[in-house]
């Protein structure tokens, strides 16, 4: 939680004009009520509206008990929609749960959740769809993590890739971008620990103490721009270089 606080302090100092903070999950390590309470005490102080995305380390019931102010969808999933300008951001709940240690680490997007997403897309009134979800539906080249991506990810992409403009995911703990089924995607690093560049390992629990980071998304009329900020390394005060613009 200290690392998240540090990331949040840095982000709020550098980007106080942000419209929204989206936490892509995991929100906790083991889904305990106490962990969600600690998270709430932090995010309650955030002056920017916060949207939460559940991950495989979370527990939906415990989240709902602590974050009673967060409205679930009609089936109790933590899914939400944010309209900003010409964009509709849909934040999906891919947790295959509920209780931690009694479910799969891979993600799930069931028929009820698909029905919710279909409805959000159908009512978007021309806005471009941006999908936010913890589990990537596609492989990223790390065998250990690909084994716990969104189950039935191919079917998800067949159904939604052509309806969305960009996809943002968590779960992997490494900066990755590319396209899948014609859909551009961005995966951000974690504020805590990172996935090593290990393309042959079959474990999902690799971790290296590379600097923590958060992403900054800029939405313009024609572009979706994703920055990543290693807040541990970044300088709070940026001085111009003497030779930046020689006369």
Contacts with Fe ion, residue ranges (CB under 5 A):
26, 55-56, 171
Q: Taking the complex as a whole, how short is the minimal distance between the CB of residue 150 and Fe ion, in angstroms?
A: 11
Comparison of 121 and 192: residue with beta carbon closer to Fe ion: 192
Q: Taking the complex as a whole, how short is the minimal distance between the CB of residue 173 and Fe ion, in angstroms?
A: 8
Comparison of 24 and 129: residue with beta carbon closer to Fe ion: 24
CA 123 to the chain's CA centroid: 23
Q: Taking the complex as a whole, how short is the minimal distance between the CB of residue 137 and Fe ion, in angstroms?
A: 14
Cα separation, 148 vs 71, whole angstroms = 28
Comparison of 53 and 56: residue with beta carbon closer to Fe ion: 56
Locate the DSSP E strands across the chain: 21-23, 50-52, 80-84, 87-91, 128-133, 166-169, 176-180, 183-187, 214-219, 224-229
Q: For residue 187, give the 3-state DSSP assignment.
A: strand
Comparison of 55 and 97: residue with beta carbon closer to Fe ion: 55
Exposed/middle/buried for residue 214 (C-beta within 10 Å: 0-12, 13-18, 19+):
buried
Q: Taking the complex as a whole, how short is the minimal distance between the CB of residue 81 and Fe ion, in angstroms?
A: 22
Sign of the C-alpha dihedral computed for residues 94, 95, 97 and 102 taken in this order: positive
Q: Taking the complex as a whole, how short is the minimal distance between the CB of residue 95 and Fe ion, in angstroms?
A: 9
Comparison of 143 and 163: residue with beta carbon closer to Fe ion: 143
């Amino acid at each position: 939680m200290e690392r998240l606080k540090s990331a949040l302090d840095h982000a709020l100092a550098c980007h106080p004009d942000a419209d929204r903070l989206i936490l892509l999950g995991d929100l906790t390590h083991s889904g305990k009520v106490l962990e969600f309470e600690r998270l709430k005490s932090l995010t309650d102080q955030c002056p920017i509206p916060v949207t939460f995305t559940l991950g495989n380390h979370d527990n939906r019931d415990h989240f709902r008990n602590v974050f009673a102010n967060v409205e679930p969808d009609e089936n109790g999933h933590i899914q939400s929609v944010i309209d900003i300008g010409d964009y509709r951001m849909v934040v999906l709940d891919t947790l295959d749960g509920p209780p931690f240690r009694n479910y799969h680490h891979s993600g799930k997007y069931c028929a009820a959740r698909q029905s919710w997403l279909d409805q959000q897309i159908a009512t978007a009134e021309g806005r471009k769809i941006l999908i936010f979800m913890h589990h990537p539906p596609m492989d990223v080249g790390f065998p250990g993590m690909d084994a716990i991506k969104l189950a039935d990810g191919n079917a998800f992409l067949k159904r939604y890739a052509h309806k969305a403009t960009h996809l943002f995911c968590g779960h992997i703990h490494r900066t990755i971008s590319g396209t899948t089924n014609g859909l551009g995607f961005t995966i951000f690093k974690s504020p805590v620990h990172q996935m090593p560049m290990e393309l042959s390992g079959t474990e999902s629990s690799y971790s290296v103490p590379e600097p923590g980071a958060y992403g900054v998304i800029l939405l313009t009329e024609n572009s979706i721009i994703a920055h990543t900020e290693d807040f541990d390394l970044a300088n709070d005060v940026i001085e111009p270089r003497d030779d930046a613009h020689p006369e």
